[in-house]
Amino acid sequence: MREGKTTSVFAGIFLLLILAEITTTVEKTAGLFLYFVALFISILYVSLVRRDMYIVSLTLPPLLRILDLSMPIFFPYTIYLFPFVYLPLFPSVYMAAKALDLNVEDLGFTLKAWYLLLPAGLLIGYLLSYPEYMILHPNALVPDFTLKSFVTLFIVMYVFVAFVEELIFRSVLQSSLEREFGLKKGLFLASILFAVMHAGFGFGEISYAFLTGLLIGFLFQKTKSLPLAVMIHGTINVMVFGLFHVETMANFFSLKDITLPWF
């Protein structure tokens, strides 16, 4: 681990990201400004001190939040907006991973033992979802309970939201911080940023997101499986913002009272 000036810069940017996210819950414009400042400092510092490339990983959380808060709302439902927020992040994640010299294994792109890990991720995500649902009590993100809406929810939550966020916080951020600060500190720091990004939902959600982030991050450490992390994260979102809003799971799986829009 590097000491001195670089560590101080990292700590300053890290704290600025936390302050920016907290600020967005009070004043969106001020929070966005702080995110832009954090992004500018990160890019400028890396441009001047190239040997400290791990700071590149700190550019991804502000990019995510800047896109999220700046995207114009041209859909009546948020679920349709998510692809436009998350899709532009793929090139940024790719460039950050390349700059950090993270290979396919570091990023967790593996199908090793998928037949065990994917069902395990589904089960873990399901078990973690109900406590979060009780903390948030959110509205459903789908406009109705048709099969088409749930297919849309599954695609958006797994392919866009969970996949991109796990790429950012586990594959790139956690991997680079573990390389720089060690496994324990890297996992802890990445989980803090992951949790703080949920500040808009209150302290209870921040605490739960931190614990969830620690668990997903720990499992990512042990398995180096991005699909496992995505399955856990995506399942939590699908349950919390969709399936828990159906009157009974039996009705859903039997398709009772579910409209098939293409018939």
Alpha helices per DSSP H over 72-202: 82-86, 89-99, 104-107, 114-136, 147-155, 163-166, 175-181, 183-196
pLDDT at 147 over 90: no
Q: Return d(Cα 243, Cα 149) in angstroms, integer.
A: 11
Mean pLDDT, rounded, for 106-127: 96
pLDDT at position 113: 94
d(CA 39, CA 170): 19
Tokens of 168: 């950012």
- Give residue 246's pLDDT band: very low, low, confident or very high (50, 70, 90): confident
Phi, psi of 10 (to 5 degrees): -60, -50
Q: How far are the Cα atoms of 50, 66, 93, 138, 164 from residue 214, in angstroms, in the given order?
A: 30, 25, 21, 23, 18
What band does 155 get if pLDDT is binned at 50, 70 and 90?
A: very high
Q: Please provide the average confidence, as pLDDT, over all residues in the chain.
A: 89
Q: Is the pLDDT of residue 183 over 70?
A: yes
For residue 115, the model assigns a pLDDT of: 95
What number of other Cβ atoms are within 10 A of residue 143's Cβ?
Answer: 13
What is the per-residue pLDDT for 70?
A: 87
H helices within the chain, ranges in order? 5-24, 28-48, 60-70, 82-86, 89-99, 104-107, 114-136, 147-155, 163-166, 175-181, 183-196, 203-223, 226-241, 249-253
Average pLDDT over residues 141-154: 88
pLDDT tens digits for range 63-109? 999 999 888 777 777 889 999 999 999 999 999 999 999 999 999 99
- pLDDT above 70 coverage of the chain, percent: 90
Q: What tokens does 190 get? A: 């990445």
Distance between CA atoms of residues 172 and 6, nearest Å: 19
User: Distance between terminal CA atoms of the chain?
Assistant: 60
**Out of 147-161, 178-192, 248-262, least confident range:** 248-262
Return d(Cα 167, Cα 89) in angstroms, integer: 10
